Each structure stands twice: as structure tokens, then as C-alpha cells.
Amino acid sequence: MVNIAMPSQVMSMLEPFLVRALVGALLTSIIAATSGTFSVLRGLSFLVSGVAHAAFGGVALGIFLQEVIGVKWFHPLLGALLFAAIVAVGAGYAGEGGFTARMEAAIGVIFAFSMSLAVLIMFYLPAEKIPLIWGFLFGDILLLTNEDLFLLGAMTSLMIGFTIVFHREFTYIIFDPETAEAYGMRSRAYHYLLLVLSALAIAAATKAVGAILVYAVIVIPAATSALVGRSIPSIALRVFLIAICCQYLGLAASAVFQAAPSAVAGVLAALIYLIILLAKRRGQ
């Protein structure tokens, strides 16, 4: 990954790309606190990398449709969201009734399928378009466009809105879906709702930080907090704080050392996880 930030640009805090990066980091931290927390608590952290890589296939398909077939309206990001939704629905279908292992397997299948599809499609694409696809895997928060931010903002708002209204339902289906259903709650609907919302938000976050680092920014803070949390809201708050601190430190480091901000954030998050895990093990 190449850091494009020039020292002269970094001097000025009002540079638009920096503002976009700060806002992007804030929004991805909110996605980490919601989608990340629920996925990790469910034992489904694989959803994050599954969605990210499936979205990669979706982008490839979108570019293929636009460039080769000539379907101009099919924006590559639409492909990313579509494939993210397919992962969510596929995993949800496989895991109805609370079978996490089956969900993981289904995610793996769609992950592999999307990556294969992307590789196949790249063969038919004009060479100058290939970096566009790879760009999705190695996204850079300093390269965010207004369009990316808009998508990220929209998905974050959706996720926040639904979580505020349905946080109890989401908690219940993770904790004890069968009782929830037996008392008349529509567990199945919330099961799919949570998965699809999470997947869409993760796909948007992937565009911001890249498929590889989205895992670092979303899963590691959640995995860390889940080690010590006593309630879901307290875990979500801690996820947010860890995610945003790591990302802002990453951005600061990128200004000073010319390092990739998401990579620094990922390293920091992993270190925090390690420290908490060691502390927790020693305390037992």
C-alpha cells in the first residue's frame, strides 16, 4: 500500500482528504461497534472477511457489466452491496435455528465463489480496469471519495437506526432465539435483518479501509471487548473507543512516519487484543 499523503498537505488539518479520512474512521468505528460487536458475539467474525471478499467479487462483476456488457447503470458499488447481501442471506439460510458452524461454512463457500468469480472476470477486463478491482481489496482511508463517504454514512445511519430500535431483538436472537420465537417474536426476520444490515455496513466499511484491514478495524476491537465486557452496550462502547483510537493514531502516524494509517491501526488493535488477552489469562 502506498501512502499518497505529502508532508505539505498533512501540515494543513483542513485538507479535504484528511477530513474525509477522519469522518471515515469515525463511521467505520460505529460500524465496528454495531456490526462488529454482534458478529463477534455470535461467533461469526468470519462474516466480516467473508463479506469483504464477496464484495470484491461484486465490484469485479459491476465493472465487468459496465465495461464489457455495457450495463452503464450498474455501479460497481452496487455489485459490492449485492454480494454482501448474498453472503448475509446465504449464511442466514444455512444457519436458521442457530447453527453457527453452518453459517461459517456457507460464508466460506460464497467467499470462495466470489473470489473465483473476480479472478475469472479479470481475465475479460481491459488491463487498465484491473487496479480498480484490486483497489477494493487494498482500500485506503486517505483515498476516500465523497461518494464513498456518502455510502458509508448511509449504511452507518441504517445500522444505528435499526440497532437503536431493535437492540433487544438482536440481543435475544443471539442469546436465545428459540425462547424468543416461542414467546411470539419473529426470530427469523430479525436473524436476517441483523445479518443483512451488518453485511451492508461491512461492505461500505470495506470500501473505506480495504478488505484486508476491515477485519483489523472491525473484528479485533470487538474480539478484545468481548473478552472483558459484562453487557452488550458496554462492549459496543468499548469497541467504538478502541476502533476510533486505533484509527486516529493510525492517521497521526501516517502523517509523521508516512505509514499506511489502516495498517498502523491494525497493528495497534492487535497489540491491544494481545495485552487484554494476556491480562485476562493471568487473572484467571
Partner 1 sequence: MSYAIEVENLTVTLNSTVVLDSLSFKLPHPSFLAIMGPNGAGKTTLIRVLLGFLKPVKGKVRVFGIDPVEHPSGVRALAGYLPQKERISFEIPMCVKDVVLMGKLLKKSPPRVPTREDIEAARDALRAVGLEELWNRCFRELSGGQQQRVLLARLLVAEPKIAFLDEPFAGVDVQTQQALTALLHKLVRERKVTIVLVTHDVNPIQEHTDYILLLNRKAIAFGHPTEVITSENLSKMYGAPIKVIQYGQYCYAITGDVHA
State the residues that interact with partner 1 by CB under 8 A.
41, 98, 165-166, 168-169, 171-172, 174-176, 178-185, 226, 229-232, 234-235
- Measure the CA–CA gap between 188 and 272, rounded to whole angstroms: 35
Query: What count of other Cβ atoms lies within 10 Å of the Cβ of residue 4?
Result: 11
CB of 164 to partner 1, least distance (A): 8
When the beta carbons of 145 and 179 are compared against partner 1, the nearer one is: 179
CB of 172 to partner 1, least distance (A): 6
CB of 98 to partner 1, least distance (A): 7
- Measure the CA–CA gap between 192 and 170, rounded to whole angstroms: 10
Q: Which three cell numbers stand for residue 15?
A: 485538507
Q: Are 57 and 115 in contact (CB under 8 A)?
A: yes
- The residue length of the chain stands at 284
Contacts of residue 249, Cβ cutoff 8 Å, sequence gap at least 6: 264, 265, 268
When the beta carbons of 19 and 182 are compared against partner 1, the nearer one is: 182
CB of 167 to partner 1, least distance (A): 9
Any idea what DSSP says for residue 231? S
Mapped onto helix, strand or coil, the DSSP state of residue 74 is coil
When the beta carbons of 148 and 169 are compared against partner 1, the nearer one is: 169
When the beta carbons of 42 and 53 are compared against partner 1, the nearer one is: 42
Q: Which three cell numbers stand for residue 16?
A: 479535504
When the beta carbons of 146 and 231 are compared against partner 1, the nearer one is: 231
When the beta carbons of 56 and 172 are compared against partner 1, the nearer one is: 172
When the beta carbons of 4 and 165 are compared against partner 1, the nearer one is: 165
CB of 96 to partner 1, least distance (A): 11
CB of 237 to partner 1, least distance (A): 13
- Measure the CA–CA gap between 234 and 70, rounded to whole angstroms: 49
Instruction: Give the amino acid at 207.
Output: K
- Measure the CA–CA gap between 272 and 219, rounded to whole angstroms: 12
Residue 283 to residues 110, 221, 225, Cα–Cα distance (Å): 40, 20, 16
CB of 149 to partner 1, least distance (A): 30
- Measure the CA–CA gap between 108 and 114, rounded to whole angstroms: 10
* 4-10-11 Cα angle (round to 5): 155
CB of 257 to partner 1, least distance (A): 37
When the beta carbons of 46 and 64 are compared against partner 1, the nearer one is: 46
